[in-house]
């Protein structure tokens, strides 16, 4: 009985080394400078630097971590909700944005989320996130118990 060779050679390219960027965060109550790696999300770099910041979903959905990009460049392709209009208006979500350059960010932990929500409402983006007849792909919290049948 003959044997066939099913092995294949796959060329694996080494991952590009992460770069370290300097990030300055401006808030109404002060400013902070910290380093962030191109292979980590800004939220975690901030937490590691000891900066308290709001977050809930950690996947680019809830807008709790909203901030504004004053200068620099980020990759926010990991965010569950992401619209070009957000980037054009300077909004980003810290939980799902990685730095691609030195950055200056602005965040008012009481106002920026509200501003981004209003921005999305004004452009009907929330309707796009929940198309008619469809539900969101995940649900936080306890599942609702089924209504008992009579």
Token code pair at residue 10: 């796959």
Q: Which of 7-15, 45-53, 56-64, 68-76 is the region at the interface with ligand FES (rule: CB under 6 A)?
A: 56-64
Q: Which of 11-19, 29-37, 61-69, 100-108 is the region at the interface with ligand FES (rule: CB under 6 A)?
A: 61-69
Query: Whose Cβ is closer to ligand FES: residue 21's or residue 112's?
Result: 112
Query: Does residue 74 bind ligand FES (CB under 6 A)?
Result: no
CA atoms within 13 A on the CB side of 6: 2
Query: Whose CA is closest to 66, among 108, 121, 24, 127?
Result: 108
Query: Whose Cβ is closer to ligand FES: residue 21's or residue 65's?
Result: 65
Q: Given CA atoms 120, 122, 124, 130 in this order, what sign does their dihedral have?
A: positive
Query: Does residue 69 bind ligand FES (CB under 6 A)?
Result: no
For residues 87 to 126, the per-residue mask of contacts with ligand FES, x marking binding by CB under 6 A and - elsewhere, is ------x-x-------------------------------
Q: Which parts of 29-148 fold into alpha helices (H)?
A: 42-48, 84-88, 112-122, 125-129
Q: How far apart are CA 29 and CA 121, in angstroms?
A: 28
* Residues in touch with ligand FES (CB under 6 A): 55-58, 60-65, 93, 95
């Amino acid at each position: 009985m003959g044997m066939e060779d099913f092995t294949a050679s796959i060329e694996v390219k080494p991952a590009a080394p992460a770069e370290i960027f300097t990030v300055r965060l401006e808030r109404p109550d002060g400013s902070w400078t910290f380093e962030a790696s191109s292979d980590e999300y800004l939220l975690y770099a901030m937490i590691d630097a000891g900066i308290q910041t709001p977050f809930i979903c950690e996947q680019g959905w809830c807008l709790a971590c909203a901030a504004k990009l004053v200068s620099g460049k980020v990759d926010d392709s990991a965010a569950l909700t992401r619209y070009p209009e957000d980037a054009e208006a300077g909004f980003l979500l810290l939980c799902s944005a990685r730095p691609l350059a030195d950055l200056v960010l602005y965040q008012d932990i009481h106002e920026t989320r509200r501003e981004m929500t209003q921005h999305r409402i004004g452009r009907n983006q929330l309707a796009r996130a929940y198309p008619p007849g469809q539900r969101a792909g995940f649900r936080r919290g306890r599942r609702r118990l089924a209504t008992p049948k009579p």
